[in-house]
Amino acid sequence: MRPRALVLAAGRVGDTPNPPLHPTLIYDDTCGFCRRWVGRARRWDHRGVLRFVPLQEPAAVTVSGRSPQELGLAMHVVRPDGAVYAGAAAAREYCRYVRGGKVLLALSSIPGVMPIGERVYRWVARRWGPVSEEA
């Protein structure tokens, strides 16, 4: 298994054999911090493009092609083309689908921004999430 920090900062972590019809954000429904942010993410998705799936639902494993342990390490976004992203890269992918997200996407393309974003993501996950110690 991979170390936790690597998975949290992995970016594109693979492809799924079962791509969803809609971009899908997978999150930990037992984490209060995660639930609050998903509530905001739903409000920012004005077009209703995204699907939100708690990692506790079997659909999360099916859609992502990842184990429950891997899903417990970070937020994931699965695109309709089958690409699976984790951690800060998943947050960046989320921005592709919401109003105002293009500005954040542009900022994330500045050299050095994503490594900082990955460190911030790991810090937030350690501090506020019940991020699994496994994997």
Name the residue with higher pLDDT: 135 or 100. 100
Count of domains in the chain? 1
Which pLDDT score, from 0 to 100, does residue 100 have?
Answer: 80
Domain for residue 134, yes or no? Answer: no
Assign 102 a pLDDT band (cuts: 50, 70, 90): confident
Q: What stretch of H or E contains 101? A: helix 101-108
Q: How much is the pTM?
A: 0.80
**pLDDT, average across residues 64-93:** 92
Distance CA 133, CA 124 (A): 15
Least confident segment among 64-68, 73-77, 115-119, 124-128: 124-128
Is pLDDT of 119 > 80?
A: yes
d(CA 21, CA 34): 23
- DSSP E strand boundaries for the chain: 11-15, 24-27, 51-54, 76-78, 83-86
Q: State the distance between the two ends of the chain, measured CA to CA, in whole angstroms.
A: 5
> Would you say residue 32 lies in a domain?
yes
- The answer to the question of residue 16 being in a domain is yes
Element of type H or E holding 110: none
Full domain range(s) for residue 52: 4-128
Task: Please give the pLDDT value at position 60.
Answer: 96
- What is the average per-residue pLDDT within 98-107? 81
Single out the residue of 24, 22, 4, 19 nearest to residue 65, CA to CA.
19
Contacts with 57 (C-beta within 8 Å, 6 or more apart), sequence order: none
Domain containing residue 118: CATH number: 3.40.30
Tokens of 70: 């891997």
Rounded to an integer, the average pLDDT of 104-122 is 82
Q: What pLDDT score does 20 carry?
A: 94
Domain contains 29: yes
Residue 135 lies in a domain: no
Round to whole Å and give the CA distance between 35 and 108.
24
